[in-house]
C-alpha cells in the first residue's frame, strides 16, 4: 500500500448501532474503510459499499493503516482489543499509527492507554460522541476530544466527516470524562421527566399536555424535546441507545466523580435507579423504557 492510499484508508472496529452509520459517513467523505465487528452478520449491511473492506478479524483490519477507530461497548472491550488480543492490536499497528477511541470508555483507562501507546510510539486520542443514531446517520454528532494537540489535529478531517461539532476539551481521557458526565446529566434529566410524567398521569393529567408545557417552560430538556413524543409516550421505546449502555455510562461517571473526589450523592441515587431497572427489564431494552419502569413501580 502506498502512502496516499494509506492516508485515505481507515480501520473501523465496532460496527453496531452507531459504528455502522459513522463508517458510512467516512466512506461518503472519500475514505476507504477496513471494517471489523465480532458479529459477522454485520458484513451483509455493507455488501453494497465499494469503499468497504470487511475483515474477518481486527488484526486483518489494521494491516497497513495509519488510523484505527474503535466504536466498542466499553473500556473492557477496548482494552481487550488493544492489549489482550491474540495478537494485540497495539503491537500490530505500525509505529506512528493513531488509535481514535470513539466508544464511551472510562477516562482513567483512556489516559493509561494514551501513556502506554506513547511508550511504544503509537498515538491515542479519545473522541466519544453524543447525539444518538439519528445524528450518527446525519453526520452531525457532537464529538468531545481528549489528547495531544498534534494528534487531535491529525484526526480532525476524519472526525469532521462524522460530526458537526468537534471540541478539544483537554488531555487524553478528558473527552471520555466529559462524555460520561454529559450522559449523567442526560440520564438524570430523563429520570426526572419519567417521574414527573408518571405523577401527572396518576393525577389525571394528559402526559402529552404536560410535556408540551414543559417544552414551553423551564422544565424543558433533551428528553422532553427529543424523546418523550418520539420514543416514549407512543410506546415505541426504540431510540437506538440501550438501557445497559446508559447504565454503563452512569457507572463510569459515578466512578470518575469518586476518583477525582467530587461530591456524587445525586449521581449515586440516579445510578441506583438505572441499575434496578436494568436488573428487571429485558436484556437489550432501550433506555427510554425507563418511563414504563417508573409507571409500573
Stretch that binds ligand NAD, among 32-40, 154-162, 217-225, 264-272 (CB under 6 A): 32-40
Nine cell digits for residue 173 = 481521557
Any contact of residue 170 with ligand NAD (CB under 6 A)?
no
Nearest CA-CA partner of 107 in 130, 132, 124, 88: 124
Of residues 117 through 136, those in contact with ligand NAD by CB under 6 A are 129-130, 132-133
Any contact of residue 17 with ligand NAD (CB under 6 A)?
yes
Residue pair 80/89 in contact (Cβ under 8 Å)? The answer is no
Of residues 75 through 104, those in contact with ligand NAD by CB under 6 A are 77, 80-81, 103-104
Indicate the DSSP class of residue 53: E
Whether 116 is a known active-site residue: answer no
Taking the complex as a whole, the smallest distance from the CB of residue 4 to ligand NAD amounts, in Å, to: 28
Any contact of residue 13 with ligand NAD (CB under 6 A)?
yes
15 vs 174, beta carbon nearer ligand NAD: 15
71 vs 114, beta carbon nearer ligand NAD: 71
Taking the complex as a whole, the smallest distance from the CB of residue 222 to ligand NAD amounts, in Å, to: 12
Can you state the angle between helices 207-215 and 174-202, rounded to 10 degrees? Answer: 130
Check 179, 227, 247, 248 and give the catalytic one.
179
Indicate the DSSP class of residue 71: -
**b/e map 152-186, b = 16+ CB within 10 Å:** bebbeebbebbbeebebbbbbbbbbbbbbbbbbeb
The residue from 212, 240, 251, 295 that contacts ligand NAD (CB under 6 A) is 240
**b/e map 199-225, b = 16+ CB within 10 Å:** ebeeeeeebeebbeebeeeeeebebbe
* Cross-strand bridge partners of residue 146: 126, 170
Of residues 58 through 77, those in contact with ligand NAD by CB under 6 A are 58, 71-74, 77
Residue closest to ligand NAD when measured from CB atoms: 16
The residue from 6, 7, 16, 192 that contacts ligand NAD (CB under 6 A) is 16
Taking the complex as a whole, the smallest distance from the CB of residue 93 to ligand NAD amounts, in Å, to: 15
CA distance 274 to 248: 10
Residue pair 19/37 in contact (Cβ under 8 Å)? The answer is yes
Any contact of residue 145 with ligand NAD (CB under 6 A)?
no
Question: Catalytic residue positions?
Answer: 179
Query: Which positions lie near ligand NAD, rule CB under 6 A?
Result: 13-19, 36-39, 58, 71-74, 77, 80-81, 103-104, 129-130, 132-133, 240-241, 245, 249
Amino acid at each position: 500500500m502506498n502512502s496516499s492510499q494509506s492516508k485515505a484508508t481507515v480501520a473501523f472496529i465496532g460496527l453496531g448501532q452507531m459504528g455502522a452509520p459513522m463508517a458510512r459517513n467516512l466512506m461518503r467523505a472519500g475514505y476507504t474503510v477496513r471494517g471489523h465487528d465480532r458479529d459477522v452478520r454485520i458484513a451483509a449491511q455493507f455488501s453494497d459499499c465499494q469503499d468497504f473492506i470487511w475483515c474477518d478479524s481486527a488484526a486483518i483490519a489494521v494491516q497497513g493503516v495509519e488510523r484505527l477507530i474503535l466504536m466498542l461497548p466499553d473500556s473492557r472491550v477496548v482494552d481487550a482489543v488493544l492489549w489482550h488480543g491474540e495478537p494485540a492490536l497495539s503491537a500490530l499497528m505500525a509505529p506512528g499509527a493513531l488509535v481514535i477511541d470513539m466508544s464511551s470508555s472510562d477516562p482513567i483507562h483512556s489516559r493509561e492507554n494514551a501513556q502506554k501507546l506513547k511508550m511504544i510510539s503509537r498515538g491515542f486520542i479519545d473522541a466519544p460522541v453524543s447525539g444518538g443514531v439519528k445524528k450518527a446517520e446525519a453526520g452531525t454528532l457532537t464529538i468531545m476530544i481528549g489528547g495531544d494537540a498534534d494528534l487531535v489535529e491529525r484526526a480532525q478531517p476524519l472526525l469532521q466527516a462524522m460530526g458537526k461539532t468537534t471540541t478539544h476539551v483537554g488531555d487524553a481521557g478528558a473527552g471520555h470524562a466529559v462524555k460520561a458526565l454529559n450522559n449523567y446529566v442526560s440520564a438524570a434529566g430523563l429520570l426526572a421527566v419519567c417521574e414527573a410524567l408518571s405523577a401527572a398521569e396518576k393525577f389525571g393529567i394528559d402526559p402529552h399536555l404536560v410535556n408540551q408545557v414543559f417544552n414551553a417552560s423551564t422544565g424543558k430538556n433533551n428528553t422532553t424535546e427529543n424523546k418523550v413524543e418520539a420514543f416514549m409516550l407512543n410506546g415505541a421505546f426504540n431510540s437506538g441507545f440501550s438501557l445497559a449502555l446508559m447504565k454503563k455510562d452512569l457507572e463510569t461517571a459515578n466512578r470518575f466523580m469518586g476518583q477525582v473526589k467530587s461530591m456524587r450523592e445525586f449521581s449515586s441515587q440516579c445510578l441506583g435507579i438505572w441499575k434496578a431497572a436494568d436488573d428487571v427489564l429485558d436484556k437489550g431494552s432501550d433506555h427510554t423504557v425507563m418511563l414504563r419502569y417508573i409507571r409500573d413501580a
